[in-house]
């Protein structure tokens, strides 16, 4: 997706104009205008970081990528775009977190069991 299209999505979702965005993220309007006019083809890392710092619903990864996917977010007024690939990724990551949490709990039980055995062995040896 072109940087100009991403900027258009950002402005639309925030319901603001480019000069307001520039002021809010502390950059010169000229930088955003260059993107709008497609003189600048990509969003820089610095600009992506500034946008994300003020508007975290726009991930740095999405801002810097060439993907055609829309960002996964819903803005404050309940409208917006939900990227099904991002939802699936989040679900997958949630399952992975649950599995890792269970693995940690199992590991803690094993540690307790081993500590108990060590304690018994050291008391027998004394």
Q: Is the pLDDT of residue 73 over 60?
A: no
- Does a structural domain hold residue 24? yes
Q: What is the CATH number of the domain that holds 38?
A: 1.10.260.40
Mean pLDDT score of the chain: 84
Q: pLDDT tens across 24-34, in order?
A: 999 999 999 99
Q: Are 51 and 104 part of one and the same domain?
A: no
Q: Are 51 and 94 part of one and the same domain?
A: no
Q: Are 88 and 53 part of one and the same domain?
A: no
Domain hosting 46: range is 3-64
Distance CA 42, CA 33 (A): 13
In the chain, the number of structural domains is 2
Q: Is the pLDDT of residue 108 over 50?
A: yes
> What pLDDT is attached to residue 88?
61
Q: Are 59 and 89 part of one and the same domain?
A: no
Burial of residue 58, with CB atoms counted within 10 A of its CB: 0-12 exposed, 13-18 middle, 19 or more buried:
buried
Q: Are 60 and 12 part of one and the same domain?
A: yes
Distance CA 29, CA 3 (A): 15
């Amino acid at each position: 997706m072109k940087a100009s299209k991403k900027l258009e999505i950002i402005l639309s979702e925030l319901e603001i104009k480019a000069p307001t965005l520039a002021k809010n993220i502390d950059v010169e309007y000229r930088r955003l205008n260059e993107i709008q006019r497609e003189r600048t083809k990509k969003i820089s890392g610095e600009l992506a970081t500034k946008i994300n710092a003020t508007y975290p619903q726009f991930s740095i990864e999405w801002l810097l990528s060439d993907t055609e996917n829309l960002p996964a977010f819903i803005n404050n007024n309940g409208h917006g775009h939900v990227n099904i690939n991002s939802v699936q990724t989040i679900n997958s990551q949630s399952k992975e977190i649950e599995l890792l949490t269970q693995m940690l709990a199992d590991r803690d039980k094993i540690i307790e069991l081993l500590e108990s055995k060590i304690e018994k062995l050291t008391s027998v040896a004394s």
